[in-house]
Structure 1
Amino acid sequence: MPVLACRGLRKEFGGQVVLDGLDLTVAEHQVVALIGASGSGKSTLLRCVNLLEELDDGVIELDGTDVSAPGVDPDLVRRRIGIVFQSYNLFPHLSVLDNITLAPRRVHRRPRAEAEVQARELLDRVGLAARADAYPDRLSGGQQQRVAIVRALANSPRLMLLDEVTSALDPELVGEVLTMIRELKADGMTMVLATHEMGFAREVADQVCFLDGGRVVEAGPPARVFGEPTEARTRQFLRRIIDAGRL
Structure 2
Amino acid sequence: MTPLLEVVDVRKSYGDRVVLDDVTLSVQPHDVVCLIGSSGSGKSTLLRCLNLLEDIDDGVIRFEGHEISDPRVDPREVRQRMGMVFQAYNLFPHLSVLDNCTLAPRRVHGLSRRAAEDRARELLTTFGLSEHVDKHPDRLSGGQQQRAALVRALCTQPQLLLLDEITAALDPELTGEVLGIVRDLADRGTTMVLATHEMSFAREVATTVCFLSEGRILEQGPPAEIFTAPREERTRQFLRRVLPQ
Aligned to 2:28: 27
User: SS of the counterpart of 2:89?
Assistant: coil
- Distance in 1 (alpha carbons) for counterparts of 2:114 and 2:65: 34
Task: Describe the superposition over 1:180-219 as per-residue Cα deviations: whole angstroms up to 9, x where unpaired.
Answer: 1011101100000000011111111011000011111011
Is 1:66 matched up with 2:52?
A: no
Whole-Å separation in 1 of the counterparts to 2:109 and 2:61: 24
Q: List per-residue Cα deviations over 1:120-155 (Å, max 9, x = no partner).
A: 000011111111111111111000000001000001
Q: AA paired with 1:203?
A: E
Q: Which residue of 2 aligns with 1:106?
A: 107
Q: How does 1:8-23 map to 2 (within 5 A)?
A: 8-23=9-24
State TM-score, norm by structure 1.
Answer: 0.97
SS at match of 1:90: coil
Identical counterparts, % of pairs:
63
Please give the root-mean-square deviation of Cα atoms over the aligned residues, in Å: 0.9
Residue 70 of structure 1 and its aligned partner are, at CA, apart by: 2.5
Which residue does the alignment assign to 1:211?
Answer: 212
Q: How many residues align?
A: 244
1:220 maps to what in 2? 221
Alpha-carbon distance, 1:87 to partner: 0.3
Deviations 1:87-135 (A, max 9, x none): 0111111110000001111111111011000000000111111111111
In the other structure, the counterpart of 1:122 is 123
Tell me how far apart the structure 2 counterparts of residues 14 and 61 of structure 1 sit (CA, whole Å): 25
* Structure 2: runs of 5+ lacking an equivalent: none
Q: Does 1:146 align with 2:152?
A: no
Which residue is equivalent to 2:76? 75
Q: Does 2:92 match 1:91?
A: yes
Unaligned runs of 5+ in 1: none
Residue 201 (structure 2) aligns with: 200
Distance 2:236 2:71 in 1: 39
2:43 alignment counterpart: 42
Q: In the aligned structure 2, how far is the partner of 1:161 from the partner of 1:179? A: 16
Alignment-derived partner of residue 7 in structure 2: 6
Separation (CA, whole Å) in 2 of partners of 1:65 and 1:160: 17
Q: In the alignment, which residue of structure 1 is the partner of 2:58?
A: 57
Please list, as runs of the form range in 1=range in 2, the aligned pairs for 1:158-173 lying within 5 A after superposition: 158-173=159-174
> What is residue 236 of structure 2 aligned with on the other side?
235
| Runs of 4+ more than 6 Å apart | none
CA distance in 1, matches of 2:132, 2:202: 29
Question: What SS does the aligned partner of 2:83 have?
Answer: strand
Residue 143 (structure 2) pairs with residue 174 (structure 1): no
Deviations 1:15-42 (A, max 9, x none): 1000001001111100000000111100
Letter in 1 for 2:103: L
Secondary structure at the aligned position of 2:13 is classed as strand
Taking structure 2 as the reference length, the TM-score comes to 0.98
CA–CA distance in structure 1, aligned partners of residues 48 and 66 of structure 2: 18
Equivalent residue of 1:165, what SS?
Answer: coil
Q: SS of 1:155's equivalent?
A: coil
Deviation at 1:173, TM superposition (A): 0.8
